[in-house]
Amino acid sequence: MSPHHPSSSVRSLLKAVLLLALLAPLSALAEMRTLIDQLGRSIKADVISVEAGIVKIKRADGILFDLPLKNLSDDTQAELKAWAAQNTATAPAASKAAPETVVFIPTEKSITMAVNRGKFDVDIAYKSEYSQDSYEEWGYNIQLTNTTLYPIDKLRIEYNLFGRRYSGSEQSVKVGSQTVEPVGSRKTISFRTSKSFRISKWKTQDTKAYGGQLTGVWVRLYHGNTLLQEYSSPESIRTKEKWATNDD
């Protein structure tokens, strides 16, 4: 006579019982209980939690395991559900408290700044077959990139724009200040300087346009009253010029 072998369904249940001997997680609410499976086999283990149809337990030797709730007896399932409901209702108030607000203070490395000159507009005053007179509006485009995981607000830029309206005129300065919109985490924003230079240009068929030009820019980026970054192009502006607070 051939030896008796358990059916596949019985073998599955036996495997579930063996798995039960391995289970567990961690929690201050863990409680030692006797768990009985669908075959009536039992094991003692610390019950950590019951959630989404999974019982998290810790075996006596400290090994952690997850066990499908449905593999346990109906009575054990009912006891565990009641235990989970009670522990959820009586969980320490601290665990339900709102997360502590993180106060983030940006530094120089929190933002990268790129500054590039740009022609904002062209107004043609005179044009013929041989020559053209025009006025060009020149300023700077500024790009800020937040390199952190936190949004950054309370930003402000102040700047001095340097230029000559005509080719032979003296250099003058335009002073500007702008509040910058908040920059989200890992986001980039771009904007123009609100101040610009209106520059006279003239050209003929045989010559390139000549006339006035932008000669430089000096930008300061603030968070509140804290200076985060300073940029100038060319760099020598900061040694050759004084920071202006009013237009020349």
Kindly tell me the burial class for residue 185, based on how many C-beta atoms sit within 10 Å of its own C-beta (0-12, 13-18, 19 or more). exposed
Same domain for 138 and 73: no
Are 144 and 188 in contact, with CB atoms under 8 Å apart?
yes
Are 240 and 118 in contact, with CB atoms under 8 Å apart?
no
Query: Can you give the pLDDT at residue 32?
Result: 76
DSSP 193-245: -S--EEEEEEEETTS--EE-EEEEEEEEEEETTEEEEEEEESTTHHHHSPPPS
In which band, very low, low, confident or very high, does the pLDDT at 232 lie, cut at 50, 70 and 90? Answer: very high
Q: What is the CATH number of the domain that holds 139?
A: 2.60.40
Same domain for 135 and 230: yes
Same domain for 159 and 189: yes
State pLDDT tens for residues 70-93. 888 888 888 888 878 877 655 554
For residue 3, being part of any structural domain is answered with no
For residue 98, being part of any structural domain is answered with no
Which of residues 59, 93, 127 is at a domain's end?
93
Could you give the percent of the chain with pLDDT greater than 90?
Answer: 47
CA–CA distance, 55 with 65 (Å, rounded to integer): 8
Amino acid code (one letter) for 149: L
State pLDDT tens for residues 163-181. 999 988 999 999 999 999 9
Same domain for 221 and 125: yes
Same domain for 193 and 121: yes
| More confident position, 99 or 235 | 235
For residue 63, being part of any structural domain is answered with yes
* Pairing of the two strands 54-58 and 42-51: antiparallel
Interval 203-226 mean pLDDT: 91
Same domain for 214 and 118: yes
For residue 248, being part of any structural domain is answered with no
186-to-25, 114, 146, 151, 189 alpha-carbon distances in Å: 36, 15, 5, 8, 10
Same domain for 118 and 188: yes
Kindly tell me the burial class for residue 23, based on how many C-beta atoms sit within 10 Å of its own C-beta (0-12, 13-18, 19 or more). buried
For residue 184, being part of any structural domain is answered with yes
Report how many domains make up the chain. 2
CA–CA distance, 158 with 195 (Å, rounded to integer): 11
Which of residues 93, 126, 149 is at a domain's end?
93
State pLDDT tens for residues 120-143. 999 998 888 889 999 999 999 999
Same domain for 227 and 159: yes
DSSP code at position 176? E
What are the structure tokens assigned to 155, written together?
């930003």
196-to-3, 56, 115, 167, 215 alpha-carbon distances in Å: 96, 66, 14, 17, 12
The range of the structural domain enclosing residue 169 comes to 108-240
Query: Can you give the pLDDT at residue 23?
Result: 40
For residue 156, being part of any structural domain is answered with yes
Interval 44-59 mean pLDDT: 82
Same domain for 64 and 41: yes
**Which helix (H) or strand (E) segment is 105 a member of?**
none
Interval 207-228 mean pLDDT: 93
Same domain for 141 and 36: no
Which of residues 32, 67, 93 is at a domain's end?
93
For residue 100, being part of any structural domain is answered with no
pTM, rounded to two decimals? 0.59
Same domain for 117 and 80: no
Q: What is the CATH number of the domain that holds 83?
A: 2.30.30.700
123-to-43, 137, 173, 194 alpha-carbon distances in Å: 88, 8, 22, 18
Same domain for 230 and 138: yes
In which band, very low, low, confident or very high, does the pLDDT at 9 lie, cut at 50, 70 and 90? Answer: low
For residue 1, being part of any structural domain is answered with no
Interval 193-222 mean pLDDT: 92
